[in-house]
Structure 1
Amino acid sequence: MRWASVLVPSAEKRVLEAVADAHCYQVLRANEVEFEIVSTERTNIVDIRTRVCSCRRWQIYGVPCAHAAAALISCGHNVQLFAEPCFTVTSYRETYSQAINLIPSRNFWKGPGEGTDGGGAKADITIRPPKTRRPPGRPKKKVPRAESTKRPKRVVQCGRCHLLGHSQKKCTLSV
């Protein structure tokens, strides 16, 4: 009840960080709702009507990113008003306005078959696996992968000079 801002504290913190980062961007206006935000690394496109930024942070987190904040500030809009409605304090208060009851102790839990059918009869429900048919034809052979069966190459040794790397056929040593 003590929150006086438009957004909840976590969203408020993100918006303030975005506004602080927005000052280092150059804003180029394409039309009434589209902006090109230029930084040293890259250029981002922001559409404030559809709440879309090419970095995708605005869509993912629901809170305007630094690019969107730069575009909104250049228009004179309040950045906080462009966060998703679920981040507003009024939405938060509405969510928790009703009483939340405790979960009863495990002793009061109903066992299996003690449903709300009212009959009192215990219904034994067994879930069986789905029926499958074996495919026709001979099962395919499982061939091991070539990487797992690689053996080290055998080094050839000459029978005449006993040097490695060639055989007797290619030996240049005189007979």
Structure 2
Amino acid sequence: METERLLHQKWMWDLTGVPCIHACAAIMSIKARPENYIHEYFTRDYFLRAYEYEINPMGGLDFWPKTNDELIQPPLLKRPPGRPKKQRHKSSLERKDPHKAKRKYGMIRCGKCKQFGHNKRSCKEKENEQELT
């Protein structure tokens, strides 16, 4: 596992060109400067060379060159393979379907006092018993 982690860090150095903390410590132990081991891409000179040319902004659509080419259209949508996704949650502003049957729930009845309108968890009978004792 440790070898895998070290290989990953070395791979990141190869990928980014910037030495990791462990590599910097090793470089400093041989009394060298870590800046000498950084990829040329990250130097100030390279940055300035990349932006030395002036880039002028283009005007609006009126300044774009006219072509006789066909307009590019977005690709046609195809039905994806597999089971369809679950239907989205509808907004409260969307109309309800008047032809769809609605589920009807009965009144809630308490399991302790057998009264309608609340359940066993929110029953006040327990509080009343404690007040009496």
TM range (shorter): 0.3 to 0.5
Q: Which has the higher contact order (CA 8 A, sep 6+)?
A: 1
Richer in helix (by share): 2
TM-score normalised to the size of structure 1?
A: 0.34
TM-score normalised to the size of structure 2?
A: 0.44
